[in-house]
C-alpha cells in the first residue's frame, strides 16, 4: 500500500558522529572553513520540514546520459563505459520518489571540465562530466557515464583522490539536503584519501562505496555499479501532535 499523504512530520535528528566533523585538519582547506562554535540545535519547524520539489519538466532527454550529453553527434565519451544505478531511500527504508539527483565527475583521465582546473591530463572533447535525474515512484534512478580517473590535488605533496562521482540530492524537505561522493568497489585509493578519512566511521565510509553489479551489467556494452543514497527519515505520524505549523 502506498502512502500518498503529504509528509509533515519533523526529520530524525542527524547523527553528527556518523557524518564528518567540520574541522578535519588532514583535509587542509577545512581548517579555516570550519565553525568553531557549537551548532544550535533546532527541531524542524515548517521552514525545515518543507523544501523545493522539482518537476520532471526540468529534465532534458539526455540529462542522465553522460556518454552523449556533451558529445558531438555520433560520438561518445572515451573511457570505461558504466551505468550507475540505485535508489534514494529514507532512513526508514522507504523509497523517495521525485527526488532530484545531480552528479558531476572528472573524465576517464581524472580531468575536470572547469575554468580553475589545471591538471595536465587532457579534456575529452566529448565529455562534459555532469548530469541529473529525478527518481521514479520507488525512488530509483540511473545514469550512464564513463568511470572517472583518480585525480591529484594540492593537499599533501602526493595526495590523489580515488575515482569518485559527486552527488547532490534533494529530498522533500530542505533539511534533507545532502551532497556526498560515491566511490568504486576495490579502489585502493579510498583508504588513503584525506577527504574520505574526514568520515570517522569505517562503516559510514563503506556506505559510500558502490558495488560492481554483474547482474545489472549489459553484456558487450557497459558494466553496472549500484549506489543507494539514504536521506534523513521522518518521524512516523502515529500519535503526532498536530499543532499549528507542525
Partner 1 sequence: MVQLLNYLKESPSQTAGPYVHIGCTPNFVGIHGVYETDLGSGSMVNDKTRGERITIRGFVYDGAGNPLKDALVEIWQADADGFYNSPSETRGTADPNFFGWARCPGDMATGEFVFETIKPGRVPFKDGRLMAPHISFWIVARGINIGLNTRMYFSDEEQANAEDPILSRIEHRVRVPTLVGQREGDTVTFDIHLQGEKETVFFDV
Is 25 a binding residue for partner 1 by CB under 8 A? The answer is no
Show Cβ contacts of residue 53 under 8 Å, excluding neighbours closer than 6 positions. Answer: 98, 170, 172
From 2, 3, 40, 238, residue interacting with partner 1 (rule: CB under 8 A): 40
Using rule CB under 8 A, residue 125 touches partner 1:
no
Pick the closest to residue 197 from 30, 84, 37, 33 (CA basis): 30
Identified binder of partner 1 from the candidate list 103, 142, 184, 225, rule CB under 8 A: 103
Position 185 contacts partner 1 (CB under 8 A): no
Question: Least distance from C-beta 219 to partner 1, angstroms?
Answer: 29
Mapping DSSP to helix (H, G, I), strand (E, B) and coil, where does residue 240 land?
Answer: coil
Residue 85 is a catalytic residue: no
- Considering the candidates 161, 172, 232, 234, report the single residue annotated as catalytic: 161
Phi first, then psi, for residue 153 (nearest 5°) are -145, 150
Which residue is catalytic, options 113, 166, 177, 223? 166
Is residue 189 part of the contact set for partner 1 (CB under 8 A)? no
Element (H, E) at 203: helix 202-206
Query: 80 or 201, CB closer to partner 1?
Result: 201
Of the candidate residues 113, 223, 226, 235, the single one contacting partner 1 (CB under 8 A): 113
From candidates 25, 43, 218, 237, binder to partner 1 by CB under 8 A: 43
235 catalytically annotated: no
Neighbouring C-alpha atoms within 13 Å toward the C-beta of 171 = 27
237 lies in the binding site for partner 1 (CB under 8 A): no
DSSP 226: E
Q: Which 145-164 residues touch partner 1, going by CB under 8 A? A: none
Residue 234 C-alpha cell reads as: 521522518
- At CB < 8 A and 24+ separation, what contacts does 155-160 make? 155/27, 155/28, 155/29, 155/194, 156/194, 159/193, 159/194, 160/189, 160/193
Rounded to a whole number of angstroms, the minimum distance from the CB of residue 151 to partner 1 is 10
C-alpha distance from residue 130 to each of 61, 65, 166 (Å): 14, 9, 9
The residue range among 34-42, 74-82, 137-145, 184-192 that interacts with partner 1, by the rule CB under 8 A, is: 34-42
Q: Which of residues 205-234 bind partner 1 (CB under 8 A)?
A: 205, 207-208, 229-233
Residues in the interface with partner 1 (CB under 8 A) total 94
Q: Which of 70, 85, 112, 225 is catalytic?
A: 112
Q: Which three cell numbers stand for residue 112?
A: 575536470
Amino acid at each position: 500500500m502506498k502512502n500518498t499523504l503529504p509528509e509533515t512530520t519533523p526529520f530524525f535528528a542527524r547523527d553528527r558522529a556518523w557524518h564528518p566533523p567540520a574541522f578535519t585538519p588532514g583535509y587542509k582547506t577545512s581548517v579555516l572553513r570550519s565553525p568553531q562554535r557549537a551548532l544550535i540545535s533546532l527541531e524542524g519547524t515548517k521552514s525545515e520540514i518543507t523544501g523545493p520539489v522539482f518537476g520532471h519538466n526540468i529534465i532534458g532527454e539526455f540529462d542522465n546520459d553522460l556518454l552523449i550529453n556533451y558529445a558531438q553527434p555520433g560520438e561518445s565519451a572515451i573511457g570505461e563505459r558504466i551505468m550507475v544505478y540505485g535508489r534514494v531511500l529514507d532512513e526508514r527504508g522507504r523509497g523517495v520518489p521525485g527526488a532530484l539527483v545531480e552528479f558531476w565527475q572528472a573524465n576517464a583521465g581524472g580531468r575536470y571540465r572547469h575554468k580553475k582546473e589545471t591538471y595536465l591530463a587532457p579534456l575529452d572533447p566529448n565529455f562534459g562530466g555532469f548530469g541529473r535525474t529525478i527518481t521514479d515512484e520507488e525512488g530509483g534512478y540511473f545514469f550512464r557515464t564513463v568511470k572517472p580517473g583518480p585525480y591529484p590535488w594540492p593537499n599533501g605533496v602526493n595526495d590523489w583522490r580515488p575515482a569518485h562521482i559527486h552527488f547532490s540530492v534533494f529530498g522533500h524537505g530542505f533539511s534533507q539536503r545532502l551532497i556526498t561522493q560515491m566511490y568504486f568497489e576495490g579502489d585502493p585509493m579510498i583508504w588513503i584519501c584525506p577527504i574520505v578519512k574526514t568520515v570517522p566511521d569505517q562503516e559510514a565510509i563503506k556506505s559510500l562505496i558502490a558495488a560492481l553489479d554483474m547482474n545489472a551489467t549489459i553484456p558487450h556494452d557497459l558494466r553496472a555499479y549500484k549506489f543507494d543514497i539514504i536521506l534523513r527519515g521522518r518521524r512516523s505520524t502515529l500519535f503526532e501532535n498536530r499543532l499549528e505549523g507542525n
